[in-house]
């Protein structure tokens, strides 16, 4: 188990990396594992502002766990450590993940905490989302939907 692992996107503008480290340091004392987290991703405005209005997190938790209870514990801990409200999205079933949200968190976010179970859950979720996005592309889902809205596509 690796606590206190902070990975910030260095390929984005340099100031984002500095702010990422600033926010991550404020969250350094949070004992994620004791809160029920297996993997935690930080994303959103907390990576762009020194004093963000909220802290957005994706938290992977054990399958079958009480996601609402974990979210409340994480919210309280983050609000105490960072001094900002927390928006927490708990994933306790990789097959039921919001692929758009996970994609955004992985694309723009930073990994705050992980253990072996969390990494395995993330790998499964990424595989499911990859298949989801690939199917959408192959079926032309977005184009068909836009065509229907515009009245150009058959129903």
Segment 43-86, tens digit of pLDDT: 988 887 777 788 999 999 999 999 999 999 999 999 999 888 99
Q: Looking at residue 125, what is its pLDDT?
A: 97
Predicted local confidence at residue 152, as pLDDT? 64
- Burial label for 32, CB within 10 Å (0-12, 13-18, 19+), is buried
20 half-sphere exposure, CB direction, 13 A CA radius: 22
| Bigger pLDDT: 106 vs 148 | 106
Which neighbouring-strand residues pair with 114? Answer: 2, 39
Please check whether the domain covering 14-150 is classified as CATH 3.30.460.10. Answer: yes
Structure tokens at 142: 């977005």
- How many Å apart are CA 20 and CA 109, to the nearest integer? 9
Token duo for residue 106 = 């992985």
Instruction: Outline where the chain has alpha helix (H).
Output: 14-26, 67-82, 99-108, 116-139, 141-150
Which H or E run contains 39? strand 37-43
- For residue 10, the model assigns a pLDDT of 42
Do the beta carbons of residue 59 and residue 74 sit within 8 Å? yes
Question: What is the rounded CA–CA span in Å between residue 143 and residue 85?
Answer: 37
- Which pLDDT band holds residue 133 (cuts at 50, 70, 90)? confident
Kindly indicate the confidence band of residue 41, based on its pLDDT and cuts at 50, 70 and 90: very high
Structure tokens at 151: 């009245």
* Encoded tokens for 34: 């004791």
């Amino acid at each position: 188990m690796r606590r206190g692992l902070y990975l910030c996107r260095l390929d984005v503008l340099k100031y984002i990396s500095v702010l990422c480290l600033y926010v991550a340091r404020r969250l350094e004392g949070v004992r994620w594992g004791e809160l029920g987290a297996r993997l935690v991703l930080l994303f959103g405005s907390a990576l762009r502002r020194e004093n963000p209005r909220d802290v957005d997190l994706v938290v992977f938790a054990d399958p079958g766990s009480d996601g609402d209870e974990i979210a409340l514990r994480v919210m309280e801990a983050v609000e105490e450590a960072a001094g900002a409200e927390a928006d927490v999205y708990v994933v306790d079933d990789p097959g039921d993940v919001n692929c758009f949200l996970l994609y955004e968190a992985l694309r723009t976010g930073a990994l705050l905490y992980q253990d072996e179970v969390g990494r395995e859950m993330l790998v499964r979720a990424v595989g499911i989302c990859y298949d989801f996005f690939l199917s959408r592309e192959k079926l032309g889902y977005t184009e068909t939907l836009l065509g229907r809205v515009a009245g150009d596509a058959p129903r």
